[in-house]
A and B are shown apart, each in its own frame.
Chain A
């Protein structure tokens, strides 16, 4: 009986296995042996062309050295979002971390003011709520702020999909928080929900307007306009007038028109679209 430790596959058998001309029994024997024998493994290594293996190694190294993707990315992947979608969404969420902190800060301030029975707290909420998504979306696009802007420009990615994914990711992170804070306000419960209508109108303006202008600039205009409107309404009547039925119809109208323009523009997409 030959000692298993000192036995080695003969060169001919190894060569035939590597070239694919060995029969099944030889293949089985060689495979079982090579798995455990370092000497025969090195013998096999000299028989295998190096170039294809080097190419695979380059890919392995590239994968290995790529930074691990964030928690948000992995979470999205595990719930079945595709890799490129997950990257787009998570970059919108994680790179906007500062913005999210701002949202929490503003809303937290509103809650504290409410607990201290501070006057004008409803006004503060009214001012902040519809603007938070606008600020977030504006901060997520455009050459002035987007760290992924160049990457996005060279990526063959459907732009509408990118815009909608990022907008959705921003709404998902900010809207529930804002609704929750709104429910704490000393005002009709409807106010906690109804701010979504002006928010939708403003979002549509910023998204559609970004065809021609920097979204950051548009967001600035919208923010100043809204704050002015709330102050004017508070001074000459009641601040909730900005959420009166007539005004709400106006916001809805703006949103519908803006979305219609956006869609018609997307369908006949021209290269001048700034979001490209």
Chain B
């Protein structure tokens, strides 16, 4: 087994399923920091974020055996956390608002790394995303990047499910058009 610090996330999760709090601690040290930052980029209430993070790891403790074991522990954890955030924001009566990734304008020049990272080989996905309205970008972020269903995204954003559907549809159409224009 080895020292918990040297073990893989999958391994740790299996140990957590067996009731090992030391393994949970190591998972927490590895994942809580980035998860807290990512939650902070979506919610402006520190108290809510602390609760969501706590709920998430308690849920992990109780449901660790439900992990499919495909290696993407980070993705699985984030899936739990973002859904906890959805239900927290809903039960908070929407006094705490979901904050889309749009508060700060992008720097004019985009570094090479960022281009590669966003998978931009032709056209310019970055600037195409930037031209989407904030509402449409929020829908793309929730459905595509956070992997929420349309229903969950609707709860998170406080709009009707049909609205999410149509905004996502229009956003994809606009992105496609922009990227094709970028080619010519």
Collect the chain A residues with CB atoms within 8 Å of residue B38's CB.
31, 34
Collect the chain A residues with CB atoms within 8 Å of residue B104's CB.
20-24
Q: Is the CB of B110 within 8 A of A25?
A: yes
Q: Is the CB of B33 within 8 A of A53?
A: yes
Q: Is the CB of A28 within 8 A of B37?
A: no
Interface size band for A: 35 or more
- Our pick among A9, A23, A45, A47 for the contact of B107 (Cβ within 8 Å) is A23
Mask, B117-141, CB within 8 Å of A = 1, is 1100100001001100000010001
Q: Is the CB of A45 within 8 A of B111?
A: no
- Our pick among A32, A41, A45, A56 for the contact of B50 (Cβ within 8 Å) is A56
Q: Is the CB of A60 within 8 A of B118?
A: no
Which residues of A, 1-39, contact B by the 8 Å Cβ criterion?
A: 1-2, 7, 9-10, 13, 17-18, 20-36, 38
Stretch at the interface among A61-69, A101-109, A113-121, A258-266: A61-69
Query: Interface residues of A: mostly helix, strand, loop or mixed?
Result: helix
Q: Is the CB of A25 within 8 A of B106?
A: yes
Which residues of B, 7-62, contact A by the 8 Å Cβ criterion?
A: 21, 24-25, 28-34, 36-38, 40-41, 46, 50, 53-54, 57-58, 61
Is B103 an interface residue when CB atoms closer than 8 A count as contact? yes
Q: Is the CB of B37 within 8 A of A26?
A: no
Q: Whole-angstrom distance between the alpha carbons of A23 and B129 in the complex?
A: 11
Q: Is the CB of A53 within 8 A of B32?
A: yes
Q: Which residue of B lies closest to A24 (CB)?
A: B101
Collect the chain B residues with CB atoms within 8 Å of residue A65's CB.
21
Interface size band for B: 35 or more
Which residues of B, 61-81, contact A by the 8 Å Cβ criterion?
A: 61, 72, 74-75, 78
Q: Which residue of B lies closest to A27 (CB)?
A: B101
Q: Whole-angstrom distance between the alpha carbons of A32 and B74 in the complex?
A: 10
In the complex, what's the smallest C-beta–C-beta distance from A19 to chain B, in angstroms?
9
Q: Is the CB of B74 within 8 A of A36?
A: yes
- Our pick among A24, A48, A64 for the contact of B21 (Cβ within 8 Å) is A64
Additional A-B contact list (8), CB under 8 Å, known A25-B110, A41-B34: A17-B41, A33-B117, A34-B74, A35-B34, A35-B75, A53-B32, A57-B28, A64-B21
